[in-house]
Structure 1
Amino acid sequence: MILVGIDIDKNRHTFSIIDKETGEILANPSVFNNSQEGFLFLIRKLSSLTNQSFLSAWKIPGIITLPYPDIFLTVAILLL
């Protein structure tokens, strides 16, 4: 199983990818912008890990003023 940790911020987000079984770091912490291009970067990174199960944890700030739930849903659908 692949673990994906994502730290959400207003304009930029950081993620890292780790293999749960081996502890191997598959992607060092990487920053992506809060934009379509940024989320496509994340999707490309995740889609390169074919035939894997994912568990994702999102660290989200206390107050969010942008439409994050729609973005998260879109990313989840694209990864299915």
Structure 2
Amino acid sequence: KITAPVLMLYGTGDSSMPLVQGPATIWDSIRKAGNTQLTVRYYDGANHGLKLGTTTDGPLAPGVARDLSRWVTGLPATATSPT
């Protein structure tokens, strides 16, 4: 059961992950658990590591760090102090 908010980040250049089927499968699973908190973002040309190019040495695709940061800081749980 997935009840926490879910963020899925996909690179459109990643041939190992199905761009449509992957999110649809996750959406199905979390919806069955009563969760409607799914965010999906696509990054044009990014590989499996969300980087540009064909190796792990390339730069992050534009927007990845920004979107991840905004998503995390927008969660209610991030307003509490760590224990």
| TM-score, normalised by the number of residues in structure 2 | 0.32
Greater strand content: 1
| TM-score, normalised by the number of residues in structure 1 | 0.32
